[in-house]
């Protein structure tokens, strides 16, 4: 009996693996809940380990998508291959050459990497030694009349600074935007410092003495500045050597909100930093069905979705548990990826009726900043002007009882809303429209190319970016309904006599973290660019950027007298100006350096 049970168990596992390896009802060209469940069950399985870009799990997903495209007889889009590879920075490596040696009141300490100290993601690779100057929170805020560097010379010195700000316990503090560590480091560098040491104080009171995240933040390091963080116990020793209690000192500093910087006379330090970028390759997967109309076949509809997710939560996770867990990303975005596959199968079964050509594209790198779709859009194998529309699906698997369906990009063509409402008469979704063509998903990469876009989304939920976003939470019947609606939309666009018109919808410049802007410029970042400066992939029609003469491909290297080495420098510089201010912008356009006059508009 035990042998029989073992054999039965083995047969069950084999059948289970086969279920993961292929969707149900694979010969049925119709969009079905059963096939949707089959695709998502595999794509969101633990076997793929969260599909983080650059990992084995992502490659397994890419192979699966390509296998389905081949099954549906899609033609390859890239040199007889479904795959498009692109380079990206997958992480950072803090080598064993990193070093901090402290001499405090004659006593020497050699700190242990990752236990006692850690370099920051934005450090340069260099060595610095000498005396240390405490500079409060390393904040210069003119509008708040607060300057930690006033009256003290830090040129070629090493500075020590608290994290956060002197008003950190106030949730509406005007100091909040100055808490960013990269901004603190940049401020110290501009004041002449050669290195900065960060430390956690005792405020906020529940703050653990933990290191900040050591992850690539999408930009190069700050040139000629070493930046590290040390454990609080060493800062306590440094202050004790000056007969100062660290906790009491910080409490008084925060109460007064008056800078109190000074030389730490009894401390010397040697710092050596070495952080290397880890290079990797991302993958996009795309296939095409050629249209049958002799003229319209040279126009294209792109139907896309990202298929990457968060792996074990290495980036973007909202999970706060201590144990590392796989983030399977069933809704985000195995659901959208499944949408590509179901629509590809459906359109392939009626390819003789297609007028325009349809490209089905699965992008990776979305969770890292639209890397894959940006590369795809910047390296189109067809003219951008020949693309009639881009349809994006991201998180379409959680249709609720109210039948709520959000459609972004609804204003990017004059015909969209009437079309969407007309088809909805047969579906009865509770539609919500957002006119903007820019947003936090892959359609942004195409809208910047002046392509009308539509982005379908069933909304966020409590499992978003958490390990609980698993296949069993998907509303398969609901996704079937959404995809049948998207099919009707795509089929209608295919049969139009003329391309949908493009409508420019002004965008708001988007920042990160707590940074908020008073001004509007109208640039679109090129997230994948590895350049010294801030490269733009497009400018909004009628925006201050366009009026100043800025163009896609420009690299901003100076903004109002502030050197710009990356997107963060650009955002910090923007934040120092007000609507109506006129500033000089220096850009590199190819090998030519240009100075443009820009008048900032209100946000």
Give percent above pLDDT 70 in the chain: 94
Mean pLDDT of 498-524: 74
**pLDDT class of 517 with cuts at 50, 70, 90:** low
Mean pLDDT of 33-38: 98
**pLDDT class of 330 with cuts at 50, 70, 90:** very high
CB atoms within 10 A of CB 177: 20
| pLDDT of 38 above 60 | yes
C-alpha to C-alpha distance for 401 and 214, rounded to whole angstroms: 41
Homologous superfamily of 2-89+279-494 in CATH?
Zn peptidases (3.40.630.10)
What confidence tens digit (pLDDT) does each residue in 82-124 have? Answer: 999 999 999 999 999 999 999 999 999 999 999 999 999 999 9
Contact 86, 375 (CB under 8 A): yes
C-alpha to C-alpha distance for 61 and 58, rounded to whole angstroms: 5
> Quick one: pLDDT at residue 28?
86
Apex 291 CA angle, 287 and 294, nearest 5: 140
Pick the CATH number of 96-273 from 3.50.30.30, 3.30.450.20, 3.40.50.150, 1.10.3720.10: 3.50.30.30
| pLDDT of 322 above 90 | no
> Quick one: pLDDT at residue 282?
98
DSSP state of 573: H
Residue-range domain boundaries for the chain: 2-89+279-494, 96-273, 519-602
> Quick one: pLDDT at residue 20?
40
> Quick one: pLDDT at residue 21?
42
C-alpha to C-alpha distance for 446 and 449, rounded to whole angstroms: 5
C-alpha to C-alpha distance for 517 and 494, rounded to whole angstroms: 40
Least confident of 32-46, 139-153, 391-405, 524-538: 524-538
* CA distance to 64, 140, 181, 252, 475, per residue, from 143 (Å): 55, 9, 20, 22, 51
Contact 337, 362 (CB under 8 A): yes
| pLDDT of 597 above 90 | yes
Contact 364, 284 (CB under 8 A): yes
Q: Between residues 8 and 216, which one has the greater pLDDT?
A: 216
Ramachandran quadrant class, 516 (left: phi over 0; alpha: psi -120 to 50; beta: rest): beta
What confidence tens digit (pLDDT) does each residue in 220-236 have? Answer: 999 999 999 999 999 99
Per the prediction, the chain carries an average pLDDT of 93
Tokens for 173, please give them: 């503090």
- Give the phi and the psi of residue 375 in degrees, each rounded to 5: -65, -40
C-alpha to C-alpha distance for 335 and 348, rounded to whole angstroms: 20
Q: Which residues of 46-77 are buried (b: 16+ CB within 10 A; e: fewer)?
A: ebbbbbbbbbebbbbbbebbbebbebbebeeb
What distance lies between CA 52 and its chain's CA centroid? 13
Q: Between residues 3 and 599, which one has the greater pLDDT?
A: 599
**Angle, in degrees to the nearest 10, between helices 476-494 and 33-43:** 110
Ramachandran quadrant class, 85 (left: phi over 0; alpha: psi -120 to 50; beta: rest): beta
Fold of 519-602: Pdz3 Domain (2.30.42)
Least confident of 155-159, 230-234, 569-573: 569-573
Strand partners, 562: 559
């Amino acid at each position: 009996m035990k042998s029989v049970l073992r054999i039965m168990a083995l047969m069950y596992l084999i059948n289970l693996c086969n279920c993961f390896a292929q969707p149900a009802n694979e010969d049925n060209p119709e969009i079905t809940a059963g096939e949707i469940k089959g695709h998502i069950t595999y794509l969101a399985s633990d076997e793929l380990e969260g599909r983080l870009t650059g990992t084995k799990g992502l490659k397994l997903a890419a192979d699966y998508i390509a296998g389905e495209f081949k099954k549906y007889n899609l033609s390859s889009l890239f040199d007889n291959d479904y795959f498009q590879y692109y380079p990206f920075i997958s992480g950072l490596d803090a080598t064993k050459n990193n070093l901090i040696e402290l001499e405090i009141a004659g006593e020497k300490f050699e700190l242990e990497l990752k236990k006692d100290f850690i370099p920051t993601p934005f450090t340069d690779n260099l060595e610095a030694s000498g005396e240390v100057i405490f500079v409060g929170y390393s904040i210069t805020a003119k509008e708040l009349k607060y300057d930690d560097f006033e009256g003290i010379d830090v040129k070629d010195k090493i500075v020590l600074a608290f994290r956060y700000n002197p008003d950190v316990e106030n949730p509406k503090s005007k100091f909040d935007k100055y808490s960013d560590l990269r901004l603190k480091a940049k401020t110290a560098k501009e004041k002449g410092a050669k290195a900065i040491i960060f430390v956690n104080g005792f405020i906020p009171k529940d703050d653990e003495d933990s290191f900040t995240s050591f992850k690539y933040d999408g930009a190069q390091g700050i040139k000629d500045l070493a930046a590290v963080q040390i454990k609080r116990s060493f800062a306590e020793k440094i202050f004790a050597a000056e007969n100062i209690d660290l906790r009491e000192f910080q409490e008084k500093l925060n109460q007064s909100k008056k800078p109190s910087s000074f030389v730490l006379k009894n401390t010397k330090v040697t710092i050596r930093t070495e952080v290397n970028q880890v290079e990797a390759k991302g993958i996009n997967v795309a296939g095409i069905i050629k249209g049958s109309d002799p003229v319209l076949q040279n126009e294209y509809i792109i139907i896309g979705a990202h298929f990457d997710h968060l792996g074990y939560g290495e980036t973007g996770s909202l999970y706060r548990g201590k144990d590392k867990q796989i983030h399977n990303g069933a809704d985000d975005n195995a659901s959208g990826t499944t949408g590509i596959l179901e629509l590809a199968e459906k359109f392939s079964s009626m390819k003789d009726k297609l007028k325009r050509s349809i490209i089905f594209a699965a992008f990776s790198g979305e969770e890292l900043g639209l890397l894959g779709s940006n590369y795809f859009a910047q390296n189109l194998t067809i003219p951008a002007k020949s693309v009639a529309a881009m349809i994006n699906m991201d998180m379409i698997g959680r249709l609720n009882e109210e039948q709520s369906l959000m459609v972004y990009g609804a204003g990017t063509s004059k015909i969209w809303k009437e079309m969407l409402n007309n088809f909805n008469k047969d579906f009865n979704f509770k539609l919500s429209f957002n006119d903007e063509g820019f947003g936090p998903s892959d359609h942004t990469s195409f809208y910047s190319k002046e392509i009308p876009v539509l982005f379908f989304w069933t909304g966020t939920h409590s499992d978003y970016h958490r390990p609980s976003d698993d296949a069993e939470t998907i509303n398969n019947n609901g996704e079937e309904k959404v995809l049948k609606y998207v099919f009707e939309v795509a089929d209608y666009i295919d049969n139009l006599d003329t391309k949908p018109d493009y409508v420019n919808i002004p965008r708001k410049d988007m920042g990160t973290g707590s940074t908020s802007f008073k001004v509007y410029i109208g640039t679109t970042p090129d997230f994948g660019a590895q350049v010294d400066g801030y490269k733009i992939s497009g400018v909004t029609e009628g925006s201050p950027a366009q009026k100043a003469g800025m163009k896609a491909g420009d690299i901003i290297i100076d903004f109002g007298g502030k050197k710009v080495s990356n997107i963060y420098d650009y955002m910090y510089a923007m934040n120092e100006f007000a609507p109506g201010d006129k500033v000089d912008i220096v850009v590199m356009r190819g090998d030519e350096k240009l100075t443009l006059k820009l008048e900032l508009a209100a946000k």
